A and B are shown apart, each in its own frame.
Chain A
């Protein structure tokens, strides 16, 4: 009898607690979810997120309305999202800039560590350093050696001061005491032709150079990611070459701070499933990004760590905003 009563009490407790927790919004989602995209229509970020959203729709049973709010490489989207209702119906794509970098270099109306609920990271960009295929540098070491021996001679194109690829190059420069000239372009669509035309000696950027590397016009010297690229398995990463440097990169779903735990949990589960969808993996491969899922806890940890790390690098590189 005692056992039965004990069992009944436990049963009651379990149900009671779980119903308390679920009462936040038991049936979420009951209406369409709005997802703010931090980039313009038609770009790689836009395309990958829209496909992710369409898979999530099936998973969650509610339409997801994607809205493009481009500006400041995702900063505009993040600052809008920071002020929205944390009800699980307002989400956005949190990207590298607003999560790790912008707060150190610019005055922005949000604090990436306090103002967001982190849901999941689903992909990262792949970065690397490329040179002309007929240049004398066959390996990254060749290139470094030349740059060291000829201070101020090497110029490299990139898109944007303070971008992940710029921070990687600045760190390398500080470590190896190299003077090279960073030439910021409006995007890889301008920095890659500048390299092909020989106006700069190298280009540091996202894998938009892959077609030219495949066609034999350019040579990839080193990858800035945590792993070698699928398409260029013979090219080493900086880590393998003995530098503890990985380009910060982030494509993720987040929301305003304070989204109830169980909604986060459910969203995270749905995204986890979605990133395993073969259609999604195929698209990410073709866009030359890498699927890199992190659950909400790992993701929150990752942001904290990377935010601090990048802040220090930005300060050292002399790119921090004036306090």
Chain B
């Protein structure tokens, strides 16, 4: 094994490959940092460039872009309340309040450290125990997905803020928006009002950017100011060793959650970062402070989404199955190079595989360096006046959402969700539960209906299978703990 990895490094460590990784990471960070553009798109864009490259060089570049994109999404989340990628939505909760308290540098610093550590951890798991983990992931069938999603719904409670009722209402609205589109089982259109643009449902990008970014622009536009003030108090320096130490347990949990969620195909970084955030809040001694600029909140979200990178590569490398849209594009890249990921790849192209593994480790180190530079480059944003930052935010969001699928329709949706987000904030409804409901509904609905077809309509299928029963048990326990916590809080008042 170590012999193989050393050989992989031997193959990997050439000037050309190093440059490829650096280019990939820079490009990925850039794509991630622009709201609307994602690592997936970035990878799709550079695949044609890799046609004529050696496979190891090609994948060094593509995987660099994947990692860079996942981190890059946190930059606008922290600086301008705009998740650069859907997976960075949970980073907004504490990242943006931190920036407003003058701790943007600290927030971005801890985002970077969490990303790099979580990524390093999952890369190591990928190299050593990919096959075993992939086998466990295969045990997830429709009933397991269904109950995992039911359990994940308890996240709503941790991100509802002051009022659980308002949180649940927002989550329900998220559910309703997610129902739009072709029925997952029957392929008949639901609530599309005759528009083919809604066949694939409402774009998650338009929802996220509208809710968080456009609503923020609207709220800022309301404020009358006599003179242009700086956007947020100027940053007082980056994350320290003390900060990192206080986040390490959170990062460890986030890495494990990300690894597991990544290894199960079809769930993805958004759910993972929300779960990690919710878990960090649950174990915290001061859960009520989450959402007001807690450094662990940022660490949880970012470790949760970056760990997904290594996680999704597990089924891809071990079984040839792409776990999310990014790895689906990567699978295409493998095919273009005449390689079929899976057990055969390890046998027939073992040098290439270990070269790619070495590339992953290299990309991790490069991300640390490029990320630190990116933080320095983007930090001055905090010195700009609001009257400059928010109009630019609006333009960037418009460009990004249009660029995502070159669709004016999605721009309209983005504006609509901007107004919805604005009204929700005015009436003190939390935004996050809407996003969670919106992201979880499609996976959960499909899985529940699949399970019921498989069982011939009997709901027993959810309790007779051990993993499925376990998640149901977790869900019941969580609800019990939550309700007793609420009762306690009420009696204290």
A and B physically associate: yes
Measured CB to CB, the residues of A under 8 A from B are 40-44, 46-47, 50, 67-72, 75-76, 79, 105-109, 152, 155, 160-162, 181, 183-187, 189-190, 192-194, 196-200, 210-212, 214-215, 217, 283, 286-288, 321
Is the Cβ of B196 less than 8 Å from the Cβ of A212? no
Stretch with Cβ within 8 A of A (4 or more), from B239-247, B317-325, B423-431: B317-325
| Residue from the set B188, B194, B456 with the largest chain A CB neighbour count within 10 Å | B188
Is the Cβ of A283 less than 8 Å from the Cβ of B336? yes
18 A–B pairs (Cβ distance < 8 Å), ordered by A: A40-B325, A40-B405, A41-B41, A42-B47, A44-B335, A50-B48, A69-B407, A72-B200, A76-B197, A181-B454, A184-B187, A189-B266, A189-B322, A189-B328, A193-B319, A211-B344, A214-B342, A288-B335
Smallest CB separation, B105 vs chain A (Å): 34
Is the Cβ of B343 less than 8 Å from the Cβ of A44? no
With A and B bound together, what is the CA distance between A283 and B48 in angstroms?
12
**CB closest residue in chain B, given A279:** B51
Q: Tally chain B residues at the interface, Cβ within 8 Å.
A: 53
Measured CB to CB, the residues of B under 8 A from A are 40-41, 43-45, 47-48, 137-142, 182, 184-189, 194, 196-197, 199-200, 265-266, 315, 319-323, 325, 328-329, 332, 335-336, 338, 340-344, 405-407, 446, 450, 453-454, 456
Is the Cβ of B194 less than 8 Å from the Cβ of A155? no
Smallest CB separation, A198 vs chain B (Å): 8
Is the Cβ of A44 less than 8 Å from the Cβ of B332? yes
With A and B bound together, what is the CA distance between A287 and B340 in angstroms?
10
Q: Quick one: given A152-B456, A186-B184, are A71 and B344 in contact (CB under 8 Å)?
A: no
**CB closest residue in chain B, given A282:** B338
Interchain CB contact (< 8 A) of B137 among A155, A187, A193, A287: A193
Is the Cβ of A47 less than 8 Å from the Cβ of B336? yes
Smallest CB separation, B486 vs chain A (Å): 36
**CB closest residue in chain A, given B141:** A199
Is the Cβ of B184 less than 8 Å from the Cβ of A197? no
With A and B bound together, what is the CA distance between A107 and B195 in angstroms?
9
Smallest CB separation, B21 vs chain A (Å): 20
Is the Cβ of A71 less than 8 Å from the Cβ of B199? yes
With A and B bound together, what is the CA distance between A162 and B277 in angstroms?
39
Is the Cβ of B342 less than 8 Å from the Cβ of A199? no
Task: Give the chain B neighbours of A79 by CB distance below 8 A.
Answer: 196
Is the Cβ of A190 less than 8 Å from the Cβ of B265? yes
Is the Cβ of A286 less than 8 Å from the Cβ of B338? yes
Task: Give the chain B neighbours of A190 by CB distance below 8 A.
Answer: 265-266
Is the Cβ of A215 less than 8 Å from the Cβ of B344? yes
Smallest CB separation, A300 vs chain B (Å): 23
Is the Cβ of A43 less than 8 Å from the Cβ of B336? no
Is the Cβ of B188 less than 8 Å from the Cβ of A105? yes
Q: Quick one: given A67-B406, A181-B454, A286-B335, are A186 and B266 in contact (CB under 8 Å)?
A: yes
Q: Quick one: given A181-B453, A190-B265, are A197 and B200 in contact (CB under 8 Å)?
A: no
Q: Quick one: given A42-B328, A193-B138, A211-B341, are A186 and B189 in contact (CB under 8 Å)?
A: no
